[in-house]
């Protein structure tokens, strides 16, 4: 009987580790996005009351969404889980965010390419190219 229980415990442990890993990655991605939004000039407001937090929880989470406000387009990013805040910016802020996000992506790709340059391809044998 004990032997049959072990695989389910092993699965549960593996599943838990995977969930924790995903949560850590999601939090890191969220922090990076929020840092980029701030650098682009988005204004951050904390949900400093239970009513504000409840309102944020009902909105799309961690997505940059355009909103019509007073005849102008504003971009809003809501994070009720980690920072319990909302970021809001103008079209100019949005364009700056896009520019910074692209620069970050290019930098990450350059790091990846540099790491690949250090790979010892000879140890992997012929590829037939």
The token duo for 76 is 């809003």
Q: Give me the pLDDT at residue 37, please.
A: 98
User: Given this model, what pLDDT does residue 120 score?
Assistant: 80
Domain boundaries, the chain: 39-113
Q: Using 70 as the pLDDT threshold, list the residues of the chain that sit under it.
A: 1-27, 128-129
Q: Look at residue 19 in the predicted model and tell me its pLDDT.
A: 43
**What secondary structure does DSSP assign to 62-123, as a single string?**
S-EEEEEETTEEEEEEEETTTT-EEEEE-HHHHHHHHHHHHHHHHHHHHHHHHHHHT--GGG
pLDDT of residue 7: 56
Residue 20: strand, helix, or coil: helix
Selection from 78, 95, 92, 96 nearest residue 34 by Cα:
78
| Residue 31 near residue 83 (C-beta atoms within 8 A) | no
Q: What letter would DSSP give residue 58?
A: T
Radius of gyration of the chain (CA): 22
The whole model's pTM is what? 0.68
Check residue 26 and give its pLDDT: 59
pLDDT recorded at residue 3: 53
* CB neighbour list of residue 68: distance below 8 Å, 6 or more residues apart: 74
Helix (H) / strand (E) containing 48: none
As a whole number, the mean pLDDT across the chain is 83
pLDDT at 129: 65
């Amino acid at each position: 009987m004990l032997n049959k229980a072990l695989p389910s415990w092993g699965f549960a442990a593996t599943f838990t580790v995977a969930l924790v890993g995903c949560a850590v990655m999601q939090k890191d991605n969220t922090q990076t996005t929020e840092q980029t939004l701030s650098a682009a000039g988005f204004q951050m407001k904390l949900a400093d009351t239970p009513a504000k937090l409840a309102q944020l929880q009902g909105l799309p989470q961690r997505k940059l969404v355009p909103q019509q406000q007073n005849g102008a387009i504003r971009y809003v990013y809501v994070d009720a889980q980690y920072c319990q805040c909302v970021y809001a910016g103008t079209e100019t802020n949005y364009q700056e965010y896009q520019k910074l996000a692209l620069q970050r992506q290019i930098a990450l790709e350059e790091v990846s390419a540099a790491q690949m340059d250090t790979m010892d391809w000879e140890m992997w044998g012929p590829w037939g190219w």
